[in-house]
Amino acid sequence: MDQIDVFTDGFVRLDSAMADDLSVVNAARVSFGTRKEAMDERDDGLIGFLMRERHGTPFEHNAYRFHVRCPIFVMREWIRHRVGSFNELSGRYAKIDDSFYIPSVEDVRTQVGKPGSYTFETVAPDVADRTRSAMEESYSASYAAYEAMLADGVAREVARSVLPVGIMTEFFWTLNARSLMNFLSLRNQEHAQREIRRYAEAVEALFETRMPITHRHFVEHGRKAP
Catalytic residue among 13, 69, 160, 187: 187
Structure confidence by residue, pLDDT tens digits, 38-86: 999 999 999 999 999 999 999 999 999 999 999 999 999 999 998 899 9
Domains contained in the chain, number: 2
**35: amino acid identity, one letter:** R
Residue 168 CA from chain centroid, whole number:
14
In whole angstroms, what is the distance from residue 117 CA to residue 131 CA? Answer: 24
In a domain, 225, yes or no: no
Which residue(s) pair with 4 in the sheet?
A: 12
Considering the entire predicted model, what is its pTM?
A: 0.95
Q: Tell me: do 50 and 34 sit in the same domain.
A: yes
Is residue 99 one of the residues assigned to a domain? no
What CATH number is associated with residue 50? 3.30.1360.170
pLDDT in tens, 163-195: 999 999 999 999 999 999 999 999 999 989 999
Q: Are 177 and 77 in a shared domain?
A: yes
Q: pLDDT for 100-121, tens place per residue? A: 999 999 999 999 988 777 889 9
Question: Do 216 and 111 fall within a single domain?
Answer: no
156 is an active site residue: no
Domain range for 82 is 3-89+167-220
